[in-house]
Structure 1
Amino acid sequence: MYSNRIPVLIVAVLVLLAGCAGGADVAPTADTADTDPDDTDAPTDGGDSADTGESTDGDDFELSDPERLLRDAGSFTVSWSYTGVDADGTETAVTREFRADLDAERSYSRTTSATDGQSDAGGVEQYVADGVTYVRVGGDDEATYTSYEGSTEVLATAIALSQARAYGADDDLTFAGTETFDGVSVERYELSDANEALILAGSAAAQGEPGNLEVTSFEYAVLVDEDGLSRHESWAFSGRMDDGTEVTGSWEYSLTGVGSTTVEEPAWLDEARA
C-alpha cells in the first residue's frame, strides 16, 4: 500500500521545517542556491497539460504552466503556512511570503517559524533589487544583515510552494463547484480517494513510521482559475499514534495579486546597505 513514489509534499515540509527551526533557511548565495529547501524540480515536471494554456473544465483537473503565466502577468504574491503537532507533542508553525514584481526586477520574501508558540530566531527577510540581494535575520533587538551581488530565482522558489502539480493524486481530485477567490472565478477540486494522501500525512506526523499512525480525518482541496493557475490549496489531517498521542497537520497556499503586486523597499534596507 505504501507508494514507491516519494511525495514531494512531505519532503518539502520536513526539509523546510528542519531548515527554519535550525535557523538555516536564509537566502543562499549563487554558489549555494541548491541548499534552498524550496528549490525543487517538481513544478516543472508534472502533468501532460503543463504547456497547454487551456482552462479547467468541469471534472477535468488541469493545470497550466505557472512560470509562463506568472511571467506574463508580471507580478504576484504567494503565501504559504504550515502548522502541526508531531508524535512528540511538539507544535511547529512556519509561514512564508513572497512578493514579486518581475517587471521591476524586485522581490521580497519573509520566513517565520515557531516551536510550541515561541518564535524561532525572529525570522528571515530577503529583498532583491537592481541585481543585489539584501538579507535580514533575527528580531528587532538582534537583527543581522548581509548583502551580495546576484539573486535566487524567486519565481521558481515561490511556485515550488504549490503542491497541486507534485501531489501525485491528480486523477483522484473531483470537481466540487465554482466560487470566487481573490476577485476571480475559480473551480474547486477536492480529494475523494485519499489512500496515498493518508500515507503522506502519516509519514509527516509519525516521523517516518506511517504504520504507527491511525489517520482519523483528511482533507485536501485546490482552487484553479480559468487560466489553469492553482490559486489556493489547503491540506489538513488529524490522527492518533499507537500510544494514544494525538497528531495534527495542516498547510495552506495562496496565490494572489496576480498582475497587481508591487514590492516596496523594506524599512531595514539602509541598515543592510551600511
Structure 2
Amino acid sequence: MTTRLLTVLVLSLVAFAGCVGGEPAADDGTGVADGGAAPVDRSDLSVEATDRLLRDAGSFTATWSYSTTEAGETTTITNAYQVDLQANRSIETFTMSGPDARTDFETFVADGSAYTRYETDGEAFYQVRPQDDTSFQSAVDRGTLSYESVDDARLVGTETFDGVTVDRYEYSDLSTWRQIGAGAFGSGENVTVTDFTVVILVDADGLARQTAWTLTGETDDGETVSVEWRYEVTDVGSTAVPDPDWLDEARAQQTDTAA
C-alpha cells in the first residue's frame, strides 16, 4: 500500500501546484492581512532569481526529499546535489529506502566525464560516459515546484537555518486537499485531511533556503497517513566536491571493459 500511496501523491503534486491559494485573509489595503505580516514577494522567490543567486555564490548543496508514512512504515526518496560551479564538478546522490528494499546511485561529474555508481541490496556496479556537468540546472529544477504555491504564505517570524538568519513563511489551507476527494491517498482509501502546511525559509538575499509541505490524514478505519515534500539549499558558497572514494574502482572497471 505504501508504493501506491507514493505514486498517487507524486501525481497529487500537480494538483497541489494548481490548487494552492484558497481565500486570502482580509486585507487592510496595505498588502498585510489581519494586521500581521506581509505575503511572500514572489519576485524574490522566482526560479530566475534562484538561478542568479546560486551562480553568484559559485557553489551550493541542494537536497530534495519525499517521504510517505502509512501503516507505521515510511518510504523516503532523497536526491542531493553538491555543485561547484567554479571547479565545474558535481556529485548527485539518489537514495530510495523503505521497508522492502533500498536503492542508491551516485553520479560524479568532472573533466567532461560522468562516473555513476549503482547499488541495489548491497551489490554495486559502475558506468562511465562522456558528459558535461548538468547538475546545476537539475538541482534548480528540483525546486521549481516550491515557487509555484506561496502566494498566500505569511511571515510568522525569523530563525536560523544552515547558519544564516531566515524569515519563516507559512501557509495552510485544508480545503485545498479536501476538494481532491476520496481516494487521493490510494485506491479505495477514503482519507480525511487533518493537517496541511507549507513552510518557506527565505534568507536576506531573497533565496529560499528551505521549502517544505506536510500533509497528514486519517483513513475511515483510523489509520494515520502522511507525506512530506522538502527542498533545501545549504552550504551556499562553501560546497566542495572531492573525488568520491569509489572513483578508482569505477575507472578500473572502465579499463577492464575496454580491454
Secondary structure of the residue aligned to 1:81 is strand
Partner in structure 1 of residue 207 of structure 2: 229
Q: Which has the larger radius of gyration?
A: 2
* Amino acid in structure 2 at the alignment position of 1:14: V
Inter-partner Cα distance in structure 2 for 1:161 and 1:271: 30
Per the normalisation by structure 1, the TM-score is 0.69
**Unpaired stretches in structure 1, ≥5 consecutive residues:** 1-9, 16-41, 43-57
Inter-partner Cα distance in structure 1 for 2:236 and 2:182: 34
**Residue 75 and residue 198 in structure 1: after superposition, are their counterparts in 2 closer, same or farther (change >3 A)?**
farther
Question: Residues 229-268 of structure 1: matches in 2 within 5 Å?
Answer: 229-268=207-246
Partner in structure 1 of residue 10 of structure 2: 14
| Partner of residue 105 from structure 2, selected from 113, 124, 127 | 124
Secondary structure of the residue aligned to 2:199 is strand
Deviations 1:184-239 (A, max 9, x none): 221110004343355579876336x78x3211122221101122111012222221
Deviations 1:98-117 (A, max 9, x none): 1000110000111111122x
Partner in structure 2 of residue 186 of structure 1: 166
- Conserved 8 A contact 1:240-1:246: yes
- Conserved 8 A contact 2:90-2:133: no
**Unpaired stretches in structure 2, ≥5 consecutive residues:** 1-5, 12-16, 18-36, 253-259
| Partner of residue 78 from structure 1, selected from 49, 62, 77 | 62
| RMSD over aligned Cα atoms | 2.9
- Conserved 8 A contact 1:174-1:190: yes
1:72 deviation in Å?
1.1
1:253 deviation in Å?
2.2
1:155 deviation in Å?
1.6
**Residue 198 and residue 132 in structure 1: after superposition, are their counterparts in 2 closer, same or farther (change >3 A)?**
farther
**Residue 213 and residue 229 in structure 1: after superposition, are their counterparts in 2 closer, same or farther (change >3 A)?**
same
Residue 60 (1) aligns with residue 42 (2): no
* Amino acid in structure 2 at the alignment position of 1:94: I
Inter-partner Cα distance in structure 2 for 1:12 and 1:80: 18
Partner in structure 2 of residue 145 of structure 1: 126
Inter-partner Cα distance in structure 1 for 2:61 and 2:8: 20
- Conserved 8 A contact 2:67-2:229: yes
* Amino acid in structure 2 at the alignment position of 1:101: D
- Conserved 8 A contact 2:200-2:210: yes
Partner in structure 2 of residue 55 of structure 1: none
Deviations 1:65-85 (A, max 9, x none): 111111111100112222212
Partner in structure 2 of residue 37 of structure 1: none
**Residue 205 and residue 148 in structure 1: after superposition, are their counterparts in 2 closer, same or farther (change >3 A)?**
same
1:119 deviation in Å?
3.8
Q: State how many pairs are aligned.
A: 217
Inter-partner Cα distance in structure 2 for 1:154 and 1:74: 13
* Amino acid in structure 2 at the alignment position of 1:113: M
**Residue 141 and residue 213 in structure 1: after superposition, are their counterparts in 2 closer, same or farther (change >3 A)?**
closer
- Conserved 8 A contact 1:89-1:245: no
Residue 102 (1) aligns with residue 85 (2): yes
**Residue 244 and residue 82 in structure 1: after superposition, are their counterparts in 2 closer, same or farther (change >3 A)?**
same
* Amino acid in structure 2 at the alignment position of 1:267: D
Partner in structure 2 of residue 36 of structure 1: none
Higher strand share: 2
Inter-partner Cα distance in structure 1 for 2:183 and 2:125: 36
Inter-partner Cα distance in structure 1 for 2:180 and 2:209: 22
Per the normalisation by structure 2, the TM-score is 0.73
* Amino acid in structure 2 at the alignment position of 1:92: T
